[in-house]
Amino acid sequence: MSYTLKPLEFSDLDFTVETALKIYDNSDPDKYPEFKITNDVDRATRFQKFFKMFLIPSNFNNHNIRKAFGLFKDDECICLVGVRRWGHLPSWSISWLLSPSIGARFIPIFRILVQELCKFHEAAGMNEFYVTYPSTREAAYSKIMLPIRERYFTFIECVVPKNERHPYGLIHELMGGVLHPHEMSFRRYILRRENTEAPSAGGKHVSMAAAESDLNARLEKFQERQDKIEEYKKNKAKEKPENENANNEAT
Amino acid sequence: MSIINTENSYIKYYYNNDPSKIWREEGTDTSHMSVGGCTRKPMSFRNECVRSARALTSNYKDLTIFMSGGLDSEIALHSFMAAGLTPKLATVRFPNGANAHDINPMLEMVREMGLSCHIIEFDPEEFVQSEECYEVAIRYQAYSLYQQILLRVAEDYSAPMITIDEVELEKAPVINWDTGKYTIPWMFLKKEDQDGVWRRFNDKTGIPALNNFYTYSPESMLAFLQLPTVDDLINDRIFGKLGWTSSKMKIYAHTGFKFRPRPKFTGVENYMHLWNQVGYNVKKHLPHSPRGFIIPAIELRDNLIAGKESSCHIL
């Protein structure tokens, strides 16, 4: 069985909306807050406008700050996911997930999905991600995400009480900018890296030699740039008298 | 007759890919800006400014320049004078000398030039505390206090006028979020709030309140981008710069107009408490955040030369 995570395109919008409509028709309408996305009453139009944000054509600025992916088992689309990337530091978050209700069979699929998303974002240098979910789902959620802990530190940063706005902007934005009808947990995942252990667990400080070699590499780059500017200025200054001579000769 | 903001309407702002749609209805509306290419070889920047002064006056005989006290409006005034034109001038004065540091040196200069400047008294404190600023914000989709003040003043003034723009340049990161690759190029910047808002004002009131002087024609914009200091700036040959404002005096010196060196003021230094108050509360009245349009400066310059359109699309 092979699963593939494929980025979706603008041309996948109708398919995404159809999938969402089917799934929402079978879900409890009181389970989710009202996300104020558009002024439209019609659900299909609302979905069109919402999912469009994750499928923006590439001639738009910042077109992939939000992105939709499909997880495919061979040619069959198993689930759809939307992610948001963040400009304050290299990080991303899961915005939405569309999957038919298939009970426990969903666990391995979700694990593969998260693993593939991590691989994709790590390759782009994004080593931190965020998720939010109803706090009542903590047991199920922490179980489903257990394998991720092999490679990521994780912890609940905070729980936002029901019908309350978190004072921190990023957390409020991660909550979809709305008040939820139940407590919501905000969980962070940070990729484990070398030499992060506490001293009591064998952690060591960065040696002087390693720190200096890093600094020297940066200074060399800086000097290269300065040399380039100096060279340009010299050439420009040389061009000037040559042009003046040519002008004098012409007159 | 439609209002002429720029030559042949070469700069356009619109929504949902429809050039006739200049009002934003929803957060999910897409925003667009397009900048047309040159149709002739530009003259020197100074001569282009003089030409723009003539063209604007030819379009609107009684055009008033709104003087802010800053360098942009001073150079614009010199351009009108160099064109042999004596424009009407106006400025906004706040109570208790709250913007005296900004406008008094300008008023002094205007007097020395033998010109007069109409002074419009305006109280920002009353404007905000009465919540009138939010009515203006809604009326024109104007997000910042500065624009709300100018729009309110323009309503009362009700005659052809121009607030002077700038060819704003800023170094801004462009990240490919799929690959993590990034560049930090110099960008030409226009704002939905500062620039698009005047189009909406024109549409609603029919008053020709303009804001494109340095960007009046594609050739004036290109002449600016080809100034030696700007060329150095956008090619990263002036070290340590993230924006163009700290090089403004050096840039405008290329015009040969004499001006007094001065520190940079916004004019609302004594009203920052209101600025923040409005910035926070305006969200209750305008549900969207204002967007900024950016086009890489070098790409824009090359397109202007080639007579090609440059565009920016945002969601």
Tell whether A166 and A71 lie within a shared domain.
Answer: yes
C-alpha radius of gyration, chain A, whole number: 26
In this predicted structure, the answer to whether residue A1 has a pLDDT above a threshold of 80 is no
- Per the CB < 8 Å rule, is A64 touching B237? no
Classify B285 as helix, strand or coil. Answer: helix
Fold of B16-314: Rossmann fold (3.40.50)
Interface test mutation site (partner A, options B25, B28, B187, B311, max chain A beta carbons within 10 A): B28
Tell whether A145 and A188 lie within a shared domain.
Answer: yes
A7 to chain B nearest CA, in Å?
Answer: 10
Least confident of A59-73, A181-195, B155-169, B278-292: B278-292
Span B85-118, pLDDT tens digits: 999 999 999 999 999 999 999 999 999 999 999 9
CA A184 vs CA A35, A133, A159, B3, B192: distances in Å: 15, 6, 6, 52, 35
In this predicted structure, the answer to whether residue A26 has a pLDDT above a threshold of 90 is no
Domain ranges of chain B: 16-314
Residues of chain A in contact with residue B28, where contact means CB-CB under 8 angstroms, are 37-38, 49-50, 52-53
**Which of the given ranges, A29-38, A40-49, B75-84, has the highest pLDDT on average?**
B75-84
Span A104-116, pLDDT tens digits: 888 999 999 999 9
Tell whether A177 and A112 lie within a shared domain.
Answer: yes
Tell whether A164 and A246 lie within a shared domain.
Answer: no
Tell whether A138 and A161 lie within a shared domain.
Answer: yes
Mean pLDDT of the A196-205 span: 89
Which residues between 242 and 281 in chain B have a beta carbon less than 8 angstroms from any beta carbon of chain A? none
ipTM of the complex in this document: 0.83
Span B165-208, pLDDT tens digits: 999 999 999 999 999 999 999 999 999 888 899 999 999 999 99
* Burial profile B25-46: b = 16 or more Cβ within 10 angstroms, e = fewer: eeebbbbbbbbbbbeeebeebb
Residue in chain B closest to A53 (alpha carbons) equals: B315
- Per the CB < 8 Å rule, is B26 touching A49? yes
First to last CA, chain A: 81
Could you tell me the pLDDT band of residue A225, with boundaries at 50, 70 and 90? Answer: confident
Tell whether A140 and A61 lie within a shared domain.
Answer: yes
Tell whether A166 and A246 lie within a shared domain.
Answer: no
Closest Cβ opposite residue B315 in set A60, A126, A232: A60
Tell whether A213 and A175 lie within a shared domain.
Answer: no
Name every residue in A having a CB less than 8 A away from some CB of B: 7, 36-39, 49-50, 52-53, 56-57, 59-65, 67, 85, 87, 90, 120, 123-126, 226, 229, 232-233
Interface test mutation site (partner B, options A53, A61, A173, A223, max chain B beta carbons within 10 A): A61
Domain count, chain A: 2
Instruction: Please tell me the pTM assigned to this model.
Output: 0.87
Tell whether A191 and A239 lie within a shared domain.
Answer: no
pLDDT for res B210 = 96
What is the domain range of residue A214?
A: 207-251
pLDDT for res A251 = 43
User: Assign residue A128 a region: left if phi > 0, alpha if psi is -120 to 50, beta otherwise?
Assistant: beta
In this predicted structure, the answer to whether residue A243 has a pLDDT above a threshold of 70 is no
Supply the CATH number for residue A67's domain.
3.40.630.30
Span A66-118, pLDDT tens digits: 999 999 998 888 999 999 999 999 999 999 999 887 888 889 999 999 999 99
- Per the CB < 8 Å rule, is B175 touching A87? yes
Tell whether A213 and A115 lie within a shared domain.
Answer: no
Residue in chain B closest to A59 (alpha carbons) equals: B313
Tell whether A188 and A220 lie within a shared domain.
Answer: no
Tell whether A90 and A118 lie within a shared domain.
Answer: yes
